[in-house]
Structure 1
Amino acid sequence: MPDPAGPAPAPTRQSLPRKAQIREENTVAILAAAEEVFAEMGFRGASTAAIAERAGVPKANLHYYFRTKNQLYARVLESIITEWFEAADRFGISDDPVEAIDHYVRAKMELSRTRPAASKVFANEIIHGAPQLMVYLRTTLRNWAATRAADIERWVAQGRIDPVDPYHLLFMIWAVTQHYADFSCQIQAVLDRDRLP
């Protein structure tokens, strides 16, 4: 039998997008703040209270989106890794070694310039023995590096680049590009600058 009062009103189209927009804005603010706090304090030194304060949201709101500090930290690491993999997309697209390597180095340098805290979070994780990332390092990253190494070995075999150990080339690219973010205070002191360009 139908309800005499009629069905409950459906949510309006305007209310859903606004709620989704607020959720997206809060998530972005929390992740950005978390990246900065984890970069400055490390995982152990960071607190959800400090992250919430930096994000400009109540601590309860932070825990609505991310139940634990571990969950938030994992999400920050995931966003860093995703962006770094996207920076290497030319390796899978271009067969020109100069274009592929040049694009990768430039993209990684740009990420170090625009998102230095991300590099510091990742470096801290590695320095502390990669407790959150060891499985990722031994699987996803290892497979990714093997694919890139095969590309580099093929280019060497074709005489398109000088002979080089492909893994050490990747390590050098990572070291050079991330150095500007991870050691920014050292570079600023040596160059006598308040910030890097």
Structure 2
Amino acid sequence: MRTLREQTTVVRRLLQQQVDAGNNHEVECLQSTLMVLTVAAVRPNSTIVQPADELPETPSLYKQFEAEYRAWHLQKKQMSARMDGGQGTALHSIIAYLKENSRTQDDAGALASWKYLLLHWEKLSEFLQKQTTLTAINKYLTEIIDTIRQAQAPKARQWPGEFNQAFYNKLTAAEMVEYRTHLRGLGWTFNAGRQMWVAPA
């Protein structure tokens, strides 16, 4: 009995032959067959039996976290990461925390958060950037997350503490509204008759 992979290869070859020959009906039939084979590859309860060793096993969440960390560590330190029991325990703790605190609270959310932290490591203080072992990352995890969040958050626009005509002329219409609101909050008033801003008394 041919394996699912072999069956798929044969059908793909036949499909290409029929496409080249312009046999539309045969093409449709073979496309349907190929779809069934594709579904069978991802559904273990399919009527077409796929040997267990034919499909690659999806790495566990731990292995995915570890792979991301190893690649990141190698890039940062130019040497492979050292893994032992303590580092493994720390990684399990990191996974649990990120999963609990990610937006989706699932494996995908946890992994996305992990990648995000490693990608924005340069946003950390000099001290935190040196904490590259998993035990250290786990120890300072909340501080690492908070620091990166603050660094990525959009900064509020800094408005002058007084009316500046040259500055005002460079603003967009929306920014002008914000600037005028800012000035009024400081006590400035606009004299419509004289068409000028008046400083607070």
TM-score if structure 1 supplies the norm length?
Answer: 0.22
- Pick the structure with greater CA Rg: 2
Higher helix share: 1
Greater relative contact order: 1 or 2 (C-alpha under 8 angstroms, separation 6 or more)?
Answer: 1
